[in-house]
Amino acid sequence: QTRQNAINAVTNYQPSTETLNFAETSPAEIFGSNVFNEKVMKAMLPKEVYKSLMKTKMNGEKLDPSVAGPVAAAMREWAMAKGATHYTHVFYPLTGLTAEKHDSFLNPDGAGGAIAEFEGKLLIQGEPDASSFPSGGLRATFEARGYTAWDMTNPAYILENPNGTFLCIPTAFVSWKGHALDKKTPLLRANQALNKAGRRFLKLFGADDGSMVVSNAGPEQEYFLVDRNFFFARPDLMVCGRTLFGAKPSKGQELDDHYFGAIPRRVLSFMMEVERELYKLGVPVKTRHNEVAPGQFEIAPVYEQSNLATDHNQMVMTTLKSVAKKHGMACLLHEKPFAGINGSGKHLNYSISTASLGSLYSPGDTPHKNMQFLAVTAATIRAVEKYSKLLRAVVASAGNDHRLGANEAPPAIISIFLGEELAEIFNQIELGDLKGCKAKGCLELGVDTLPPLPMDSGDRNRTSPFAFTGNRFEFRAVGSNQSIAGAQVALNTILAESLDYITDEITKITGGKKSGLKEACQKVLQGIMKQHGHVIFNGDGYADAWQKEAAKRGLPNLKTTPDALPALIDKDVVAVFEKYGVLSKDELHSRYEIYHEQYCQHIVTESLLTIKVAKTIILPSAIRYQGELAQVAASIKAAGIEPRTILLQEVTDKLRDLQQNIVALEKIVAKEDFKSVEEDAKYKVTKTLPAMLAVREVADALEGIVADDLWPLPSYQEMLFIK
């Protein structure tokens, strides 16, 4: 029996005898060893080429195409010295996954031999067959061509395999008309927009010193680990990434004994190997610990600039998965692998900064710096309130729907947590009556310093989707399986718009003069608070009272993906994305289509598998049990005793319910003629998901009564607690 075999395999598991030795090669030595980083470039490239590259990278200057030749030559030499035979343009299509297509360096030399070649033009541009990647109508199939373009702001790197290595070149993926078909292109555009607006804003405050305004991301990645034998005994986990069946374990997470507990040995050994692999790739992973749910863990890097952090997070996800296999486990990145058990998110720590000023979300120590800090924070409050539906839309997915709105992750209502002290300060700004206010002892912008703001301990308010944590905001609604690009594209764009708004409004009042800045700023911030301040909420986001209060405040509460996605094509959203050149109307519409399709496809797969597992695995085992009970009853009767048949009756009833519910689900799934993706997606929410749940409920009840030795699927208990 599969389940028993899985349990046996887990019990007899022998850890690999291959060991890592961090004493022999220190992490510092390993770090970045597979990265074509600045140090390598400086050593290998002609001086002018290196200088020119750095100008593009550090100051955002246009890339000089003549550098491609020398860079390609150096890359090839470096990569081949590390055993690389192939190169690949790595890109990030709208599936949210990482895509790569390998090409060998070797070319026939015409005389029966081969020579290694890698020209500049192969570095700069690639042409993968793009027809199988989602484009949402941006690329008609007859012009299937898509181009990958070298993203020189992120370094190339080498990936290892026991049988060889290959060179990976980060690229953007666009259609031949230049439409963004990926997650990277809009991020690069949004970074530019933020830089431009950010510098304008800083100039107003006399703080623009020529360095770029960038955004930073520190994504905390949560994940589950289960033994691979269990994984393969659960078709639902294998195909859908989450369990479609399974009764709650009697020992759940109520005891909270897992969180920050000692890390199990096999898991720790896995983590160490993950970290070592990521060190080689220059990913600065720093934190590892158990998470709240049993079997759940977290890995977090030190924050980096948005584009690099995004690529690195993709590498973290890929590495977690591949190393888990080596250690006999499967890594689950799904947002909700187990019903009734905490799901996984990806808290996105977000800040904007310049090299010289550091985080613009750090309160300063002079009144002037404070004013700037409060203005940036006000810009954020405005942006998040004005575009809260967009922020909900960029984290919408079938998987994340199980998390947002269940009482464990932030609710689907987008609000901001500022902490008591900062909230009070903004309260005063809103009241604004400076004279009256002064008497009550409140702060005057640009004159007073702020009282010290305590750092949020991280756990203090987990219930808020967007929390201020001392020198950054933490956007907690991102799903564990999602790319962090979408959230950052949205944040950078709406923040650029808000910073521009503040700059414009203040300039209108001051006429561009220095004097009067603080009064003007006070006035503009007061206006922002009056209009958008209701997005601030410091209380318990899980409470029912908040749902009611939020409704009263007019904050949207978009519970499902089909509810959330329309924000992508809202007039306001299209306008802001077009104004800042981040995504065109067509590009937004394509995303709207694609994300709907992905959502529907997900639910279709899940519903088909629900039917299959229910019919071919659960039903047969329950029938076997029913047969056993009936036989026993018959023999008792034959012995002249009246048998008690309560259990037989119960199993029989449940079996009937299960069959009925399966038939009902089959009927629902059979409908395929939808007029639009919207109609299709709505149908999935209102019909398919409830029908799947109805099948599951009976099946889970059966799991509680069918004899354990007849139950084929590994239980929650087994998957979560056997390490």
User: Interface residues with Mg ion (CB under 5 A)?
Assistant: 220
Q: Which helix (H) or strand (E) holds 467?
A: strand 466-468
Work out how close the CB of 462 gets to Mg ion at its nearest, in angstroms, rounded to a whole number: 11
311 binds, among ligand ADP, Mg ion, none (CB under 5 to 8 A by kind): none
Instruction: Specify the residue, 459 or 673, whose C-beta has the smaller distance to Mg ion.
Output: 459
The residue behind tokens 């797969």 is 605
165 binds, among ligand ADP, Mg ion, none (CB under 5 to 8 A by kind): none
Instruction: Specify the residue, 233 or 300, whose C-beta has the smaller distance to ligand ADP.
Output: 300
Give dist(CA 90, CA 156) in Å, integer: 9
Instruction: Specify the residue, 133 or 473, whose C-beta has the smaller distance to ligand ADP.
Output: 473
The residue behind tokens 């308010």 is 461
Q: What are phi and psi of 263, to 5 degrees?
A: -80, 130
Give dist(CA 432, CA 443) in Å, integer: 10
Q: Which helix (H) or strand (E) holds 190?
A: helix 184-204
| Assigned token pair, 710 | 């007849």
Question: DSSP strand E in 176-303: where?
Answer: 214-227, 285-290, 296-301
Instruction: Specify the residue, 246 or 363, whose C-beta has the smaller distance to ligand ADP.
Output: 363
472 binds, among Mg ion, ligand ADP, none (CB under 5 to 8 A by kind): ligand ADP
Instruction: Specify the residue, 10 or 453, whose C-beta has the smaller distance to ligand ADP.
Output: 453
Instruction: Specify the residue, 245 or 468, whose C-beta has the smaller distance to Mg ion.
Output: 468
Binding residues (CB under 6 A) for ligand ADP: these are 216, 218, 220, 287, 300-303, 349-351, 359, 458, 471-472
The end-to-end CA distance of the chain, in Å, is 21
Work out how close the CB of 489 gets to ligand ADP at its nearest, in angstroms, rounded to a whole number: 16
Work out how close the CB of 291 gets to Mg ion at its nearest, in angstroms, rounded to a whole number: 9
Rounded (5°) CA angle 554-558-563: 125
Work out how close the CB of 252 gets to ligand ADP at its nearest, in angstroms, rounded to a whole number: 22
Work out how close the CB of 287 gets to Mg ion at its nearest, in angstroms, rounded to a whole number: 6
Instruction: Specify the residue, 263 or 648, whose C-beta has the smaller distance to Mg ion.
Output: 263
Instruction: Specify the residue, 222 or 236, whose C-beta has the smaller distance to Mg ion.
Output: 222
DSSP string across 306-325: HHHHHHHHHHHHHHHHHHHH
591 binds, among ligand ADP, Mg ion, none (CB under 5 to 8 A by kind): none
Work out how close the CB of 346 gets to ligand ADP at its nearest, in angstroms, rounded to a whole number: 11
Instruction: Specify the residue, 234 or 476, whose C-beta has the smaller distance to ligand ADP.
Output: 476
Work out how close the CB of 311 gets to ligand ADP at its nearest, in angstroms, rounded to a whole number: 15
Question: How does DSSP classify residue 345?
Answer: B
C-beta separation of 78 from 32 below 8 A = no
Work out how close the CB of 480 gets to ligand ADP at its nearest, in angstroms, rounded to a whole number: 14
Work out how close the CB of 480 gets to Mg ion at its nearest, in angstroms, rounded to a whole number: 13
Instruction: Specify the residue, 467 or 520, whose C-beta has the smaller distance to ligand ADP.
Output: 467
Beta bridge partners of 473: 350, 468
Q: What are phi and psi of 409, to 5 degrees?
A: -105, 170
Which residue's Cβ has the minimum distance to Mg ion?
Answer: 220
Angle between helices 517-532 and 485-510 (to 10 degrees): 130
C-alpha neighbours within 13 Å on the C-beta side of residue 450: 23
497 binds, among Mg ion, ligand ADP, none (CB under 5 to 8 A by kind): none
Give dist(CA 688, CA 241) in Å, integer: 18
Work out how close the CB of 271 gets to ligand ADP at its nearest, in angstroms, rounded to a whole number: 14
Give dist(CA 695, CA 257) in Å, integer: 32
146 binds, among ligand ADP, Mg ion, none (CB under 5 to 8 A by kind): none
351 binds, among Mg ion, ligand ADP, none (CB under 5 to 8 A by kind): ligand ADP
Residues 332, 336, 339, 343, CA torsion sign: positive
Q: Which helix (H) or strand (E) holds 373?
A: helix 367-386
Instruction: Specify the residue, 218 or 328, whose C-beta has the smaller distance to ligand ADP.
Output: 218
Give dist(CA 282, CA 638) in Å, integer: 75
C-beta separation of 577 from 584 below 8 A = yes
Q: Which of 621, 639, 560 is nearest to 595 (CA)?
A: 560
Give dist(CA 67, CA 49) in Å, integer: 6
Work out how close the CB of 190 gets to ligand ADP at its nearest, in angstroms, rounded to a whole number: 16
